[in-house]
A and B are shown apart, each in its own frame.
Chain A
Amino acid sequence: EVQLVESGGGLVQPGRSLRLSCAASGFNLVDYAMHWVRQAPGKGLEWVSGISWNSHTISYADSVKGRFTISRDNAKNSLYLQMNSLRAEDTGFYYCAKDTYAGIGLPGDSWGQGTLVTVSS
């Protein structure tokens, strides 16, 4: 059974950093691109970042470019999101999602339950 479990969320002050992790099981992480998608309170889904199977292709939403860094460790079956210079508008649930292909496409049929990030003083 495919499972994606996010962790690392919490309450953080504006301007500080947080690192999210996503533990993958039930499939070979190396075979798929991965994504981070978030949802702010009362807002819709917003794609944040995606990374190809070999980390050679990485893409970010304009709203997080220069502040967030996506990475993966296929040997550890893990996906990460390093979030720096956090802002109040970064508050929300963060979901990791498996792509359908190895190259960056769209989030596919497997998503985690999400981890909540709250940016507030």
Chain B
Amino acid sequence: QSVLTQPPSASGTPGQRVTISCSGSNSNIGSTTVTWYQHLPGTAPKLLVYSNNQRPSGVPDRFSGSKSGTSASLAISGLQSEDEADYYCAAWDDSLTHVVFGGGTKLTVL
């Protein structure tokens, strides 16, 4: 059971907009920033969003992050086939005093 809760799966058709949620608590998302990663198993995870809504250089603006209270979301607009991957949220937890990840959401592009 992950400290941060994500839906196990999400899907969309090319061109659609998809949103992935990440639910936490006051000791993690509610008190610190959220990071999102894209991962294909067996490869290096890729940073998509940091500090809730900041994109590293090279990440398309189709990816956007937001946070409200103890929840965060990753939105992917103009869905493309290459977006099919696993997506994870992460945050620091003040009570556990370590990093916590969400369980991951497998995105399928139909």
- A44 interface contact, C-beta 8 A: yes
- Total chain A interface residues with beta-carbon distance under 8 A: 26
Residue of B nearest to A6 (CB): B44
Seen from chain A, the residues whose Cβ lies within 8 Å of a Cβ on chain B are 35, 37, 39, 44-47, 50, 59-62, 93, 95, 97, 100, 104-109, 111-114
Q: Are A44 and B47 in contact (CB under 8 A)?
A: no
Task: Tell me whether chain B's interface is mostly helix, strand or loop, or mixed.
Answer: strand
- A44 and B104 within 8 A (CB): yes
B43: shortest Cβ distance to chain A, in Å? Answer: 7
Residues A44 and B45 in contact, CB atoms below 8 Å apart: no
**Contact indicator B2/A47 (Cβ below 8 Å):** no
What is the size, in residues, of chain B's interface with A at 8 Å between Cβ atoms?
A: 28
Interchain nearest-CB distance for A85 vs B (Å): 20
Asked whether B24 is an interface residue with its Cβ less than 8 Å from the other chain, the reply is: no
Q: A35-B99, A60-B98 are in contact. List 14 more A-B contacts (CB 8 A).
A: A44-B101, A44-B104, A45-B45, A45-B104, A47-B90, A47-B98, A47-B99, A59-B98, A59-B99, A100-B50, A106-B33, A107-B35, A109-B47, A114-B44
A47 touches B100 (CB 8 A): yes
Partner of B92, one of A39, A93, A105: A105
